[in-house]
Each structure stands twice: as C-alpha cells, then as structure tokens.
Amino acid sequence: MSEFISIGTRFAPLPSPFPFKRGGSLLDGRVAFETWGQLNDKGSNALLILTGLSPSAHAAGNADNPDRGWWEAMVGPGKAVDSDDWFIICVNTLGSCKGSSGPASINPESGQPYRLGFPDLSVEDCARAAKAVLNHLHIDTLACVIGNSMGGMVALSFLQQYPLYARSHINVSGSAQALPFSIAIRSLQREAIRLDPAWNNGLYTEGSYPRNGMRIARKLGVVTYRSAMEWDGRFGRVRLINDDHASEKFGPEFEVERYLEAHAERFVDQFDPNCYLYLSRAMDWFDFCLSCAKGSTDVVESLASINIGSALVLGAETDILFPLHQQQQIADGLSQGGARVSFEALDSHQGHDAFLVDIEKFAPPIRRFLDERKAEL
C-alpha cells in the first residue's frame, strides 16, 4: 500500500465526518491541491482544474515544485491557462493515492490503511471534496471550472451541486454518464487486478503486490486512450530488432508491445491498485441524470438544469473512450439551460489522451475562451 505525494503538495481538511453518497463516512480526511498565480483583490479570478483518474494535483511546475506537471504545456505564465491572469487551483481527486484521502491512506481509527474499508466512492463525493478545498482557501466564487476526462464528470456534478458558484465551465473530453463500452473496458481492468493472486482481496503488501494485474489493467487503458489511427501511424508493424522474444514462446515481437509494456511498468510503480479500483468504479457509476432533480432519463434535458453563464466543450474526433457525441450532449444540454456555449470537435489523431499531448489543437480554443472571460473579472 503506497501513497505517491509530490513535493510541494498542499492539503485541505475535509469536514469530519465527511459523509459519502453511497453510505459510510471519513474521519479527518484531506484533499491534496496545488496553486499557481495570485487571487486578485476582488477574489474574482479563481479557476479550478479537476483531473482525470490518475493525475496528481501537480498540473505544472510552480514555486513549491519546479518539476514538470501532467499539463505543463497548458498551465503557467503566458500559457493557455495563464497564471499571470488567473489564480489556478488543481485538486487531486478524492480516492486517489496522490495526497487526497483514499484506500491507501491511513485510517485514523485503526492506524492501518483503509484498503477495501474505504467508503464506496462516487463522482459526487469527489465534487464535494473539491469544494472543501475552495472553502479552505476562502474562495467565494469561481471564474471557471475546468474538467478533463473523469474531471469533466466531477465538474458537471460540481456545477449541479453548487449552482451559481462558477461563472463559466470548460469541459474537455468529458461525459455526463459512463457508456457500456467504457464500463466494459474498466470492468476488464478491475478484473485483471482482482484475479491477480497477489491482490489478496486488497490485502497486498509491497513484498506481495498485484503487479501483473496492474500491468494488464494499464495496458488495456492505454490502448483505449489513443486511436487506431495513431497506433498505426506511430508503430505500424515494426518488429523488435533483437531476438529476445525467441526465449519466450508467444512473448512480445512488435514495437507496440514493447511500448505498452514500458508504459505499464512505469504506471505500476506510481499508482495504488485499490485506488485504481475505487476510482474506476466511481466513473462507471456516474450518471448525471440520476443526480439531477428533474428525474429525467434524457441526458440533454438533465444537463439543462445546470445554471452557468458560458461554457466551452471540447472533444477529439478519434476518442473511443469518451466519444464525441458525449461532448455534444454536454454542449446541447448546457445551451438548453441558457449558457452561451462553444463546442469544438477537434481533428486530432491522439484519441482520448489528445488533451494531454495535442496541445496545438486544444490550447487555442481554451486560450480564446479564457481571454473572453477576463472582461468579467
């Protein structure tokens, strides 16, 4: 059981006890966050970033930690999310192993990690935990909420739970509910972890760790994060140069296999398996329609209940995990609710991960949208 906490990570306390949507509560919980820029005198320039499943709060280098962050090309002075203009807060998701309370955290009542004793986690809980950070920082209003991937789900829940708290929203490759294909992939990832004998019903140790299960789970994820077009263009049918595979029947023979293996090995040493299970299932459970007071099963109609001034919704045309029609639903729903909405389907070969790597496509619309918001400060 391990937590992976970056240098410079700051912490906000959760209300204690912190009740969970599906039952149970957390004592003395915390949420990890980092900041960039300065809050202006009116307190009107705060901007919240909500992350995907695996990132930490370290979106970019800052004074407390100059190391490159997971969105380094997007966040910072002079960049699309400009810390010269905005007071930027990035929150590590509740349930993670990167600073916020989660299954790998110590239960103050037992002195041992929570493991599977951690309460069942929902996207709605993650949104409420993010609000605790803003309360800790005495932020009374947000100029914008940015949500990427799972963070897009959390952002929609945040806007629903705290109406009029934010003036605008940027939803990047997000969705209002998990689709069957995405649920199926994440189910296979969880099964790979659980069927590894070393998982041991969540009671693994550093000496007996479900490494193989995590490797397979991550490989499945990486395959869906990129598009078939990119896999083909990047690797083709290039074979490994050496004959190492000859010593292992059915071992890796292609460059793409080696890439997946290297990616998986890095991830195994940077994320806790139980946290992966909890966060993955929280995504599958999320359905904005069920959170909405309207009681409608129509996604667009439900999203129309969100009261927001303006929104930018972005998606990649090659995304198979959060397909483009889900971003179209978000745009249509927010527009139906009265928001001024810009929707852009970006021609990127990078699939779901495009917002992380295809900065040339994603940065310009984000910069334009935020530049327009400066007039509201």
10-13 and 30-36 as β-strands: parallel, antiparallel, unpaired?
A: antiparallel
Q: Model confidence at 245, in pLDDT bands (50, 70, 90)?
A: low
197 domain-assigned:
yes
CB 105 within 8 A of CB 114: yes
Q: How far apart are CA 111 and CA 128, in angstroms?
A: 25
**At which of 280, 305, 333 does a domain end?**
280
CB 177 within 8 A of CB 328: no
Say yes or no: 204 and 147 in one domain: no
Say yes or no: 224 and 94 in one domain: no
Q: Per-residue pLDDT for 347 more than 70? A: yes
pTM of this structure: 0.96
- pLDDT in the model for residue 314: 98
Q: Per-residue pLDDT for 103 more than 90? A: yes
Q: How far apart are CA 116 and CA 103, in angstroms?
A: 6
The alpha-carbon radius of gyration of the chain (Å, integer) is 20
Helix axes 180-194, 211-225, angle to 10 degrees: 160
pLDDT digit string (tens) for 49-93? Answer: 999 999 999 999 999 999 999 999 999 999 999 999 999 999 999
Q: Model confidence at 243, in pLDDT bands (50, 70, 90)?
A: low
CB atoms within 10 A of CB 305: 18
5 domain-assigned:
no
2 domain-assigned:
no
CB 174 within 8 A of CB 330: yes
161's tokens? 């739970």
Full residue range of the structural domain in which residue 239 is found: 183-280
Q: Per-residue pLDDT for 244 more than 80? A: no
pLDDT digit string (tens) for 112-156? Answer: 999 999 999 999 999 999 999 999 999 999 999 999 999 999 999
**At which of 230, 247, 280 does a domain end?**
280
257 domain-assigned:
yes
Given CA atoms 314, 315, 321, 323 in this order, what sign does their dihedral have? positive
Q: Per-residue pLDDT for 179 more than 80? A: yes
Q: How far apart are CA 168 and CA 141, in angstroms?
A: 11
Name residue 146's amino acid: I
Say yes or no: 17 and 101 in one domain: yes
Say yes or no: 29 and 141 in one domain: yes
Which helix H or strand E contains 190, and what residues bound it? helix 180-194
CB atoms within 10 A of CB 297: 11
CB 88 within 8 A of CB 37: yes
Say yes or no: 165 and 218 in one domain: no
**At which of 261, 280, 299 does a domain end?**
280
pLDDT digit string (tens) for 268-291? Answer: 989 999 999 999 999 999 999 998
Please count the structural domains in the chain.
2
Say yes or no: 304 and 369 in one domain: yes
DSSP symbols for 129-165: HHHHHHHHTT---BSEEEEETHHHHHHHHHHHHSTTS
Instruction: For the chain, give the mean pLDDT.
Output: 95
Say yes or no: 165 and 274 in one domain: no
CB atoms within 10 A of CB 259: 16
Say yes or no: 211 and 158 in one domain: no
Q: How far apart are CA 78 and CA 143, in angstroms?
A: 18
CB 9 within 8 A of CB 57: yes
Say yes or no: 130 and 216 in one domain: no
Q: Model confidence at 235, in pLDDT bands (50, 70, 90)?
A: confident
Active-site annotation, residues: 149, 319, 352
- pLDDT in the model for residue 248: 76
Say yes or no: 202 and 272 in one domain: yes
Say yes or no: 271 and 364 in one domain: no
357 domain-assigned:
yes
- pLDDT in the model for residue 138: 98
Query: What is the distance in angstroms between the CA of the first residue and the CA of the last residue of the chain?
Result: 44
Give phi and psi for 211, each to the nearest 5.
Answer: -65, -45
> H-type helices in the chain, by residue range?
123-136, 150-161, 180-194, 211-225, 228-235, 255-268, 273-285, 288-291, 299-303, 324-336, 354-357, 359-373
115's tokens? 């493991």
Cis omega (within 30 of 0) for bond into 197 = no
